[in-house]
Structure 1
Amino acid sequence: MEANRKIIHVDMDAFFASVEQRDFPELRGKPVAVGGSGDRGVVAAASYEARRYGVRSAMASKVARRKCPSLIFVKHRFDVYKQVSSQIRAIFAEYTPLVEPLSLDEAYLDVTENLRGLKSATLMAQEIKERIWQTTRLTASAGVSYNKFLAKLASDHRKPNGLFVIKPHEGLDFVAALPVERFHGVGRVTAEKMHRLGIQTGLDLRQQTEAFLRQHFGKSGGHYYRIARAEDQRPVEPDRIRKSVGSENTFGQDLDTLAEMQGGLAPLMDDVWRWCDRTQVFGRTVTVKIKLNDFQILTRSRSALLPIRERAFFEKVAYELLEENFPLPRPVRLLGVSLSNLEDTHPYEGKQLTLSF
């Protein structure tokens, strides 16, 4: 039964920014943003001191600077963040093999059966938090519950450095009182649509029929119907397959010509192919993303029957997708390219790549 499961969600606190403050004492206690400081830059992470001014990740740097004139920008150091993430995951592995990483700084752990033989998931979460602090000198927040949805809500509830538990008999009431915008998976646009429909809280959401929610939100309606009832049967998947790999760049100056855009796309394809070559995981679908300087987004995709294993072919398709958008109505601010429908290519060894577009 779902109520018998013990799930922990661990989320590092302002991870990138906290690593910078740990390594550079002069940044401690100050508002810090990891990301580019230029007019076209974007905040990748913000310290809690910066968040008090309303600075958030994915915010344009110029907007962040307006909100917090004393904001200190630092360049990212992804190699360091990955190293710290590996230390944290090594700690998780001492408690359970059922660890589902979501990113460098958060993961689900199923500790129903665990390697330490501990019965209390709450004590385990506390111990993990302490081990993370001792090893990295960074704080983490943890949520404990009987499913992934509630565990994620719980870890958000008392950040930073928090620990919160939602017991089986508490799930329905906790969800009922929560504003829908606090639900993981309900973004700003969806929340606004729910508000227009008179849905403000989890209780309001629970009062809707599944048919009504599917009518207004498509396939996601079924998901909203279940989480409003604190239901989430998803297992913790330690071997969760990555769905896509991509790279994008916001340019310092708008691009006007096809030649400029082809030049801007080339290093992005390098990034994607380097990952594919290293992991030997390749995709069937190529997607090119174009953001114009009025923030309109254009995307084009093309798929093959089998994974694309030749870099030259990947580049050919990406350039063709780029050209298909011409002529463009406005200059280009951002370009991106991705491969999705990823597959392990080993079963295809020795087979001829048959393409169908």
Structure 2
Amino acid sequence: MTPVLARPAHRRTLALLAVTVLLATAAAVAVGRAAGRAAERDHDRAGQPAVRQGKFGLGGPGRLIFRNLAWGPRRDHLAAVPLNDPGAVRTAGPTDCLRFHAAAGTGVCLRATGGVVPGHEAVVLDERMRAVRHFPVPGIPTRARVSPSGRLVAWTVFVSGDSYAGGAFSTRTALYDTRTGTLHDSLEDFTVLIGGRRHEAVDHNFWGVTFAADDTTFYATLGTGGRTYLVRGDLTRRTLTAVRENAECPSLSPDGTRIAFKKRVRPKGADAPWRLYVLDLRSGREWPLAERASVDDQALWRDGRTLLYALPGDYGADVWQVPANGGGHPRKVVASAVSPAVTGP
């Protein structure tokens, strides 16, 4: 069978089409490579941590989980790194949070909600990071904590509309028992004792809960009358007893003997008003830590010797650490991160 030969004009058209395809492919490759090089330059110039998509749970040993603040599609998502290698490539999951904490396989995530009227909610997470309970909250998230056993969960939000507040802030702090399903939606319903006497005032504000191991005792901050107090809570008796003045955002040590807190060392409105301190609950002795920057955060015990906390950074905040004994030096351990939690031993 004699082959049918293409006409000369047709052959020229096919050749032109082939050249066009080759040129377009080469251009696309060149553009892609240039974009890649530009992205690498931007990454190097920005100094942002490397982030990869993946999965992780709340029960893994020796893991540091936090809200990722590195720019990119996973900003504000929870991410994890090995506790002994916090500068490693971070694994970011699908869960986004504004505030977060976890312990013993239970997590709490405070996040924004969509819809016609934006709002916020507290989400209780299980060990596999699945949402098991949702609670609407009346304001902007600021603090979150889970008890060492994973049974109790607490959160604090800023609210507006309280007539007594004036220009000051107002808060709501809630506690949730994952075992019984009991929600204490406001610590303002508890009885407050200051100096051994019942204290009643319309301006009671509570924030920064930290739990003891017995799942009954907890500590928090009380603000009233222009003063702040460290209060010890009893969940069974529904009481809050003031134990010290000028102590905010407490964090109980793993052995239950010390509390880290921020202490106001300068008047309201001044620059750098707070300093991190540690209080020995048995002796009543307190001491400042080596971090001299103003820390407006609820510190977290990395272990029995070291505290983690956030300071302002180039992309929102960075996580730092400092020895709890008052010695040593502060050190940045995780860039572009906030709201850390430690899992496992």
TM range (shorter): under 0.3
Higher RCO, 1 vs 2 (CA within 8 Å, ≥6 residues apart): 1
Higher alpha-carbon Rg:
2
Normalising by structure 1, report the TM-score.
0.20
Higher strand content, 1 or 2: 2
